[in-house]
Amino acid sequence: MKILENFIAAFSVLRGSKLRTILTLLGITIGIAGVIAMMSFGAGAEKLMMQQIDKIGGPSMFGVYRPGHIRKNGRWQRNTSPHHLEMRDLRHIQEECPSVEVATVERSHYINFEVDGKHQQTYMRATTFEYQKVRQWETEYGRFLADTDMDFWSKVCVIGAKVWKDQFKGLDPVGQEVGISHGGKNKRFTVIGIMESRGDGLEAGRSDDNMIFIPITTAQTRFGGRNHVGAIMARAKSPLLVEQAMKEVETVLTRNHGGDNTFFRTWSAKKGIEGAKRMIFIIEMILVIIASISLIVAGIGILNIMLVSVTERIPEIGLRKAVGAKSLDIRLQFLTESVLLCLIGSIIGIALGALVGQGFAQAVKFFWSHIAWPPVITLDAVLISVAAGGTVGVFFGYYPASQAAKMTPIDAIRHT
């Protein structure tokens, strides 16, 4: 009951000095808004990262590639190994790696895509029918590449949503012939499907929606490249089995290539997530610490205001003590005022921080139209902000409250 009475009394005191209360609230509001905005930035970055990871297939994804340069004896050197990733590697991985759910290969080329005389520069990805399962990516219309397309080196292609909109203006392209030019060779292909839209990626112009997909065997026979593939992409049976699946794949590749385990490199979405989260956390904490400086400044302001309030209310303190109020009651009363002031400022600051977060997302969209930055306000951010506000109220309000509690009734009344 005393707590409720303290809050009612504190609210009456704050309402009685509106201008002073508003100016004091301004400091704590700006501080909390800064904390919320910075945490929103970090949460948005993490959500954006997870969206990108989901686009490539999720945390169970990993891959193997042959880099152009490798680090040897502390120096970067050109990868001169005679070994390359091959189709047989894919077959052995599928047969001999129990932790691998599904795997595929890919080769990417920059191509000229032509429809009825209209040309567009885009990317061609040569792969297998398992690509759909690895990436967990369905077709919007038509179908994806099939086993028979691989076996007969079929000149068929599946196009991305952006290519469909740009080149076909939303009309049905299935069954139409298109031209694909690469390496001085121009071939005619038949469109058999359109992929679901995955949205723009972080890198302008490299959206999955701007891709063309053809059978890997067709690319090898029509555009050259022998039996080599650019990369092998795989999905572990669960995120917990990613490391085991990668070891199994490395074992197969090392055996297939005469014991050479230096010509290829591996990557995993899981490691990428962990590394990115650490980096985002560090950046977020630095920004939060910087934003918290304004909270300290606001706390000093509260300390000054509460000291002024104690000085102004010395007669009231003496009267209350004279009629039986204990030092603890006086201390709690002033602490309640300080904490209430900070909590009100925190609530306003949370709302302001959310608006700043929205504004940041809009600014990113304005300057980088291909990036859809998600404004995220988490429950953790709200709770931390409220706790920070309460802590500031207690820490900076304790000294003035103690000064008020130490007064004797006679000295306080005499001060009148």
314-333 pLDDT, tens per residue? 777 777 777 777 878 788 88
Q: Report residue 233's pLDDT band, with 50, 70 and 90 as the boundaries.
A: very high
Domain identity same for 248 and 288: no
Of the listed ranges 30-44, 208-222, 245-259, 362-376, the least confidently predicted one is 362-376
Please report whether residue 358 resides in a domain. yes
Q: What is the pLDDT of residues 150-196, one digit of tens each?
A: 989 999 999 999 999 999 988 899 999 999 998 888 899 999 999 99
Domain identity same for 232 and 347: no
pLDDT for 49 beyond 50: yes
Domain identity same for 12 and 104: no
Instruction: Tell me which of 235, 263, 291 is where a domain ends.
Output: 263
Residue 227 near residue 50, CB atoms below 8 Å? no
254-257 LR contacts (CB < 8 Å, sep 24+): 256/86, 256/88, 256/89, 256/92, 257/83
Please give the pLDDT value at position 416: 53
pLDDT for 129 beyond 90: yes
- Measured in degrees and rounded to the nearest 5, phi and psi for residue 184 equal 80, 0
Element (H, E) at 94: helix 87-96
Q: What is the mean pLDDT of the chain?
A: 85
Please report whether residue 60 resides in a domain. no
Q: Give the span between the Cα atoms of 30 and 385, in whole angstroms.
A: 12
Question: How many domains are there within the chain?
Answer: 2
Residue 71 near residue 200, CB atoms below 8 Å? no
Handedness of CA 5, 7, 8, 14 (dihedral sign): positive
Residue 81 near residue 260, CB atoms below 8 Å? yes
Residue 114 has a CB neighbour count (10 Å cut-off) of 17
Instruction: Tell me which of 232, 263, 294 is where a domain ends.
Output: 263
Q: What is the pLDDT of residues 56-84, one digit of tens each?
A: 778 899 999 998 877 777 788 888 888 99
Please report whether residue 269 resides in a domain. no
Q: Which domain holds residue 280?
A: 2-54+274-414
Please report whether residue 181 resides in a domain. yes
Instruction: Tell me which of 263, 286, 313 is where a domain ends.
Output: 263
262-266 LR contacts (CB < 8 Å, sep 24+): 262/70, 262/72, 262/81, 263/66, 263/70, 263/79, 263/81, 263/83, 263/84, 264/64, 264/65, 264/66, 264/67, 264/83, 264/85, 265/64, 265/65, 265/66, 265/67, 265/70, 266/62, 266/63, 266/64
Please give the pLDDT value at position 1: 43
Domain identity same for 161 and 215: yes
